[in-house]
Amino acid sequence: MRTTFIKTLCEEARKDERLFLLCGDLGFSVLEQFADQFPERYLNVGVAEQNMMQVAAGLAMEGYSVFTYSIGNFPTLRCMEQIRYDICYHRLNVKIVAVGAGYAYGPLGVSHHATEDIAMLRAIPGMRVTAPGDALETELVTRRLCRDTGPGYIRLNKAGEKPVHRVPIAADCLDMIQVRSGKSTAVLTTGAVLGDMVDQVDARALEFSVYSTPFISDISPHQLIELCQRYEQLITVEEHQLNGGFGSAVVERLADLHAAGKISRFPRVRRIGIPGTFQGFAGTQEYLRAKAGIVLPDKQDQHVDR
C-alpha cells in the first residue's frame, strides 16, 4: 500500500505544483522517489509529529495541498489537538497518512498498534476518513484526496497486501465495492483486513457476499437501503476497536435510516473487530488478528450484535 501511495502521489505532484509532502523522520526506501523528484516540496520535520501538523497547517494556509506521513498512532493519536484545532477547525487542505494500521506493526507492541484512530478522527467535523483494502483502492483513495480541498485521513496497512480486485475501480467511486457474491449475508469490510476476509470466504466456501468500504466517511444511505433489502444479515469487519469504529458508523447510519422511515426492517448486524482490549504482547499481524477474534462466523453461527 505505501509503495502504491507514494507512486500515485508522485504522479499527481507532476500535475499539481501545490502538492507538498511532510514526514516524521521515517519512510526511508519509500519516500525517496518523491523527495528526489520534488525536493522543494518535501520536508522531513524530524521526530516531531505535533509540530509536523502545525507546519502542514501553515503550508496549507499559503495555498499548498499538504500530505503528512508517519507510522500508525504517531500522526493521529499523538496529534489530536493539532488536527482538531489547527487543521479541521480551519478546514485546511491537509491529508494525514498513517502507515501501519491496526496490528501491522504488531511485533513492536501496544505503542505501535493503531486501533483507535478511526473512532477518534471520524468524530472531528470535516474530516474525511479513508481506509483502502488493497493497492487498487490505495490508488483510488490517494487520487481522490489529492483533488479534495479539505482535511482527510488515509489509513494504510504497510506492505505485501494481497491484491483483491479483479477489475479496475471507477475513478469516481465512493460506494462500498463488491468483491464476492453470496446469498443471505453480506460482509462489509474496511482496510487491509479485506484480503483476509476474502480468503476466509473462499477457503471455507461461505456463501457470503463481501464488500470493501475504503471511504468510511461516505457510506451511502442509498446503498445501505439496498443492502437491507437484499440481505438478512450484515457483518462488519475491521482491524480496529469496536467502540466507535467502522461497524459503529454502519449501525449509526442504519439507525438514522430506520428512524427516518427509509428502511422498514432493521437488519441483523454482527460487528467483528477488537473487543475493547489492548493486546499487551508482541506478535505478527495475523497472530494478533486471530487473538482479537477477527474471524468470520460459520454459516450456522447466528450470534449478532444489535
What are the mean pLDDT values of the chain's consecutive 10-residue runs (306 residues total)? 96 98 92 97 97 98 98 96 98 98 94 96 98 97 97 93 90 95 96 96 96 97 96 97 98 96 93 95 94 88 48
Decide if 223 is inside a domain. yes
Nearest to 93 by CA among 69, 117, 116, 127: 127
Q: Are residues 87 and 185 in the same domain?
A: no
* Other Cβ atoms within 10 Å of 36 Cβ, number: 10
The kind and range of the H/E element at 152 are strand 152-156
Sign for the pseudo-dihedral over CA of 88, 92, 93, 98: negative
Cα–chain center distance at 131: 2
Q: Are residues 151 and 31 in the same domain?
A: yes
Q: Are residues 115 and 14 in the same domain?
A: yes
Q: Are residues 93 and 36 in the same domain?
A: yes
Q: Are residues 13 and 150 in the same domain?
A: yes
CATH number at residue 201: 3.40.50.920
C-alpha atoms less than 13 angstroms from C-alpha of 85 in its C-beta half-sphere: 6
Q: Are residues 21 and 148 in the same domain?
A: yes
Which ranges of the chain does DSSP label H, i.e. alpha helix? Answer: 2-15, 32-37, 49-61, 80-82, 117-122, 135-147, 193-203, 221-230, 246-259, 285-292
Sheet holding 42-44, edge to edge: 42-44, 19-23, 65-71, 94-99, 152-156, 128-130
Tens digits of residue pLDDT in 44-87: 999 999 999 999 999 999 999 999 999 999 999 999 999 999 99
Residue carrying the nine cell digits 487491509: 192
Q: Are residues 10 and 152 in the same domain?
A: yes
Decide if 84 is inside a domain. yes
Decide if 303 is inside a domain. no
Residue 306: what pLDDT? 38
3-state secondary structure of 60: helix
Decide if 110 is inside a domain. yes
Q: Which DSSP string do the residues of 219-261 spell out, in sequence order?
A: --HHHHHHHHHH-SEEEEEEEEESTTSHHHHHHHHHHHHHHTT
Q: Are 118 and 195 in contact (CB under 8 A)?
A: no
Q: Which three cell numbers stand for residue 216?
A: 468510511
Residue 212: what pLDDT? 98
Q: Which DSSP string do the residues of 178-203 spell out, in sequence order?
A: EEE--SSEEEEE-TTHHHHHHHHHHH
Measure the CA–CA gap between 4 and 156, rounded to whole angstroms: 10
Q: How many domains does the chain have?
A: 2
Q: Are residues 271 and 144 in the same domain?
A: no
Q: Are residues 109 and 80 in the same domain?
A: yes
3-state secondary structure of 273: strand
Residue 110: what pLDDT? 94
* Other Cβ atoms within 10 Å of 165 Cβ, number: 16
Nearest to 159 by CA among 105, 200, 210: 105
* Other Cβ atoms within 10 Å of 236 Cβ, number: 25
Q: Are residues 121 and 241 in the same domain?
A: no
Decide if 89 is inside a domain. yes
Measure the CA–CA gap between 248 and 245, rounded to whole angstroms: 5
Measure the CA–CA gap between 159 and 182, rounded to whole angstroms: 29
* Other Cβ atoms within 10 Å of 90 Cβ, number: 15
Residue 35 domain boundaries: 2-156
Tens digits of residue pLDDT in 258-295: 999 999 888 999 999 999 999 988 899 999 999 999 99
Q: Are residues 146 and 263 in the same domain?
A: no
Decide if 29 is inside a domain. yes
Decide if 236 is inside a domain. yes
Q: Are residues 188 and 140 in the same domain?
A: no
The whole model's pTM is what?
Answer: 0.95
Decide if 166 is inside a domain. no
CATH number at residue 45: 3.40.50.970
